[in-house]
Chain A
Amino acid sequence: AQSVAQPEDQVNVAEGNPLTVKCTYSVSGNPYLFWYVQYPNRGLQFLLKYITGDNLVKGSYGFEAEFNKSQTSFHLKKPSALVSDSALYFCAVRDGGGATNKLIFGTGTLLAVQP
């Protein structure tokens, strides 16, 4: 069965510092990995995805993620955090290659960026 794990419930970082939100995955077959962000009382917004190709994926709002097959990780990163990046971040894996296959979400990591 496909699954993702987010080991940190919360990540605290000072504004201007680099941030990392961790995600590890367990899949059978090719991984289809995603990052989403959720602001309070809002739905999820797509940040980026890895399907195939370059291991470093660039996404929205200056975020990027590195796919590491040997470590089965897909950590989300940003070189310089903004206070407005404070939100709940979800890593997800798609259950199969079809575009309409369901997404399986991690437990979420709350990112708090202090001014």
Chain B
Amino acid sequence: GAVVSQHPSRVICKSGTSVKIECRSLDFQATTMFWYRQFPKQSLMLMATSNEGSKATYEQGVEKDKFLINHASLTLSTLTVTSAHPEDSSFYICSPRGYGTEAFFGQGTRLTVV
């Protein structure tokens, strides 16, 4: 399977600060990037979809000014949680996709806002 690197795997931050999560596709070009959020014992909820070089499309109910997505290259996308609050604590997972590839997933990032 394809190699996807998501970093960091865990992060603890203070309320009001911003956190950046990186997702890299190491052996294929990710034309599309999906960002998911997962609460404990729940399914993955799609937050946004981005295509390389374009603005992200956010799902209903997801604040685009709070969850900033950058997909400037075919191998790197970032999700920045701005002015984080405890309710933003969650497990975030990226899923890069290229043409003709299946869905691969990053290892996930456990964000805890204190």
Contact = CB atoms under 8 A, between A and B. Distances in A.
A15 B113 CA distance: 39
**Size range of the interface on A?**
20 to 34
Interface in B4-53: 4, 6, 9, 31-32, 34, 41-44, 46, 49
B101 interface: yes
A41 interface: yes
Contacts of B6: 43
Nearest to A110: B41
Given A90-B43, A107-B43, A108-B42, A41 B100 contact: no
Q: Please report whether the interface of chain B is mostly helix, strand, loop or mixed according to DSSP.
A: loop
Given A99-B100, A100-B31, A100-B99, A43 B42 contact: no
A50 interface: no
Nearest to B57: A102
Contact of A41 (B98, B105, B108): B108
Contact of A46 (B46, B100, B102): B102
Q: Is the interface of A mostly helix, strand, loop or mixed?
A: strand
B43 A41 contact: no
Given A43-B93, A99-B98, A106-B43, 4 more contacts: A90-B43, A99-B101, A100-B98, A108-B43
Interface of A: 34, 36, 41-46, 49, 90, 99-100, 102-108, 110
29 contacts: A34-B102, A36-B105, A41-B91, A41-B110, A42-B107, A43-B4, A43-B6, A43-B107, A43-B108, A45-B1, A46-B1, A46-B102, A46-B104, A49-B102, A90-B43, A90-B44, A99-B98, A99-B99, A99-B102, A100-B31, A100-B32, A100-B97, A100-B98, A102-B34, A102-B49, A103-B95, A105-B44, A108-B42, A110-B41
